[in-house]
Structure 1
Amino acid sequence: MLRSLGGPEVLVPEEVPEPSMAPDEVLVEVGAVGVTYHDVVQRNGTMRRHTKLPLILGYEIAGTVQAVGVAVTTLRPGDRICTKAFRSCGLCRLCRNGMETACARRVAVHGGYAERVALAEEVCVRVPEEVPLEVACMLGPSTGVALNAVRDVGGVRLGETVLVTGASGGVGLSTVQIARLSGARVVATTRSEAKRAALTEAGAHHVLVAADGEDFSKAVKALAPDGVQVVVDTVGSRVFTPAFKALAVGGRYVMVGQLFREEISINPAFVFFQRARILGVGSVRRDQLEDSVALAASGQVRPLVARRMPLEEAAAAHALVERGELVGRVVLVP
């Protein structure tokens, strides 16, 4: 339970009542929950949106339905499910035009750091038996976001070159795999030489090791002299300048993450001289999550579990994620 903002030590295990279930909700026994950097920035106060204390963190959830509300029509007890990040109304103009992640009435998913959680039917997608729950928990706000960034927002095409920043994280690693699957040449950046082999195995054609603040644009241009057609940026402000400098004329800069509080400064002339498009990715739609489940079930995308930890070690898991030493996702298993 998160009762105050701060370092990992503010995450303290405690007993809470069984979650109540609305008519359109299901009660889920949590099988696994991903520890994301989104959780970290909620905990430390960098991200205040949708953070109302006290709060049970955890929105990358996979588990088994135990009970269903009277209004639930598509799920039944025993179904294995994973989640998207928001409940959407399904009725507004944005929802009706494929922008459900921007729904003005969206409600954020929380509560995964627990043994059981009540979830709206709308946020749950069935998972086949061949996909382990430790993997399934990553298919929404990790793999699904990557699919959204590469296929639907970035529009990556066969033969293009894609630069992926923060490539060793949950979203980054899936982005590398999906970009490679799309027929692109993939350049991945990471801060650690120790992660090179894992990124190459995931599908990166080239791996660049660069510290925070280092200008890696020349190294990218050595691989792609005209620049990269697409940047998928999972880090944000600390890599924006070199990543933007690596962009080709007419390129698409796809913003997925902002992990730190710093702001960026850019001369607007650089945008129109470069004929660049800066595009924002807003989470994952339900259809994108369904597609991610299908990709994982077929083995075309393989989300990587970096470490499994018991729920009571959530604080230690957050410390691991903040240090950025692992490749893939840290997963809590109640």
Structure 2
Amino acid sequence: MMRAAVLHGPGAPDAFCLEDVPVPPVGADDVRVAVQACGVSYRDVVERNGTYKRDVSFPLIIGLEIAGRVEATGSDVLDLKVGDHVASKAFSSCGRCRLCRSGRETTCFKRRPVRGGYAQYVSLPQDAWVRAPADLPFELICSLGPGAGVALNAVRDTARVQIGEWVLVTGASGGVGAPSVQIATAMGGRVIAISRSAAKVDFLKSLGAEHVIVAREGENFARQVKALNGGWGADVVIDTVGSRTWAASFDALAVHGRYAVVGQLFGEEISINPARIFFKRAQISGVGSVSRVQLEDAIDLVARGIVTPQVARVMPLSEIAEAHRLVEEGAVAGRIVVKP
């Protein structure tokens, strides 16, 4: 048996029940990992509170940002062995369909979401795991897939930031926002970070943001963005928030700008007159998760010191309800990590 935080239905942070449950079995294609750290992501929050419903059924052990040591492998596992340090992607893919074989594994029709990190052990298909250097702390690597890996997808591979471009990042202190600031800066972008908290200004500047705009939820910050560069606006928007920053972010987008939609933290719809899109010659792209190559590259960026994962607090799994409260309230700068 093992200890786990189990959800029996959607609810508030105190919906978690700490229970003894069976250790997960190891199938032929599976790798069982002894969990050493698990980041608390906003996807965990929206799965727990019922906003995110895709592939969600109860009872459920959530937690997708996992790092640990390989404890057992199935007979078909090729590249991982007992004792390896690994970090998780946000999903596993089949590796054989035309999408996987053309570099589009994040849209594999047979993809399966990664969950189970709020427990002492988790068993997932081998495709969900990427090996990490043994000298990188588990607390740093656990969030790289859904954090820095997705940021790399957004900034480098989707928006294709160029040297000298103005890059607007919403939700800039979050799990994807913070590494987006770091990566865009490393690529030569001039980063404008958006935050709801004045207390996070120094933090965001330490990551490389050239400017930080503190904006209340729903406030249109477009004029403030354009005031920074003579009315030009943002060449690139990396939007990790979604509906509640959409209007302001699109207003701030420069002509011929690229808008990368990374997150949607709320259940609301947006609306826009399509003419505004072609008048700006705007490109709007969805950023979907992280590929194996992107996670490998994100791990390399951390190993080289280009990206430094921001860990706000490390908490025991017994405090998972409090961890979720802090994340849902946006009360910390950086990731909260739980250790089972």
Matched, 1:264 2:274: no
Aligned counterpart, 1:212: 217
**How much has 1:156 moved relative to structure 2?**
0.5
Separation in structure 2 between the aligned mates of residue 24 and residue 261 of structure 1, nearest angstrom? 35
Aligned counterpart, 1:149: 154
Query: Deviation digits for residues 91-141 of structure 1, max 9, x if unmatched?
Result: 112112211111111011110000011121111111112211001001101
Tell me the TM-score normalized by structure 2. Answer: 0.97
- Confirm or deny: 8 A CA contact 1:31 1:133 kept in the other structure: yes
**How much has 1:262 moved relative to structure 2?**
1.3
Separation in structure 2 between the aligned mates of residue 21 and residue 226 of structure 1, nearest angstrom? 55
Unaligned runs of 5+ in 2: 1-5
Which stretches of structure 1, 4 residues or more, deviate above 3 A after TM superposition?
A: none
**How much has 1:27 moved relative to structure 2?**
1.2
Aligned counterpart, 1:169: 174
- Aligned residues between the structures: 334
Q: For the aligned residues, what is the CA RMSD? A: 0.7
Which one of the candidate residues 16, 19, 24 is aligned to 1:19?
24
Matched, 1:290 2:296: yes
Matched, 1:195 2:200: yes
The one-letter amino acid of 1:130's match is D
Q: Identity across aligned pairs (percent)?
A: 56
Aligned counterpart, 1:3: 8
Query: Deviation digits for residues 18-77 of structure 1, max 9, x if unmatched?
Result: 111101111100010010010000011101002111110001100000111111111111
Separation in structure 2 between the aligned mates of residue 72 and residue 97 of structure 1, nearest angstrom? 22
Query: Deviation digits for residues 192-232 of structure 1, max 9, x if unmatched?
Result: 00000000001100000000010100000001221111000
Query: Deviation digits for residues 239-288 of structure 1, max 9, x if unmatched?
Result: 10000000011100000000011111111110011100110000000000
Separation in structure 1 between the aligned mates of residue 135 and residue 159 of structure 2, nearest angstrom? 30
More divergent stretch after superposition (159-168 vs 50-59)? 50-59
- Confirm or deny: 8 A CA contact 1:32 1:137 kept in the other structure: yes
Matched, 1:247 2:222: no
Unaligned runs of 5+ in 1: none
Q: Secondary structure at the match of 1:301?
A: coil
Aligned counterpart, 1:43: 48
The one-letter amino acid of 2:281's match is R
Aligned counterpart, 2:329: 323
Matched, 1:92 2:100: no
Which one of the candidate residues 51, 57, 72 is aligned to 1:52?
57
Separation in structure 2 between the aligned mates of residue 291 and residue 50 of structure 1, nearest angstrom? 28
Separation in structure 2 between the aligned mates of residue 7 and residue 271 of structure 1, nearest angstrom? 38
- Confirm or deny: 8 A CA contact 1:12 1:315 kept in the other structure: no
Separation in structure 1 between the aligned mates of residue 64 and residue 328 of structure 2, nearest angstrom? 18
- Confirm or deny: 8 A CA contact 1:60 1:140 kept in the other structure: yes
The one-letter amino acid of 1:318's match is H
Aligned counterpart, 1:65: 70
Which one of the candidate residues 218, 227, 233 is aligned to 1:222?
227
Which one of the candidate residues 34, 45, 48 is aligned to 1:29?
34
The one-letter amino acid of 1:261's match is G
Separation in structure 2 between the aligned mates of residue 192 and residue 153 of structure 1, nearest angstrom? 28
Separation in structure 1 between the aligned mates of residue 336 and residue 39 of structure 2, nearest angstrom? 6
Q: Secondary structure at the match of 1:93?
A: coil
- Confirm or deny: 8 A CA contact 1:3 1:54 kept in the other structure: yes
- Confirm or deny: 8 A CA contact 1:166 1:190 kept in the other structure: yes
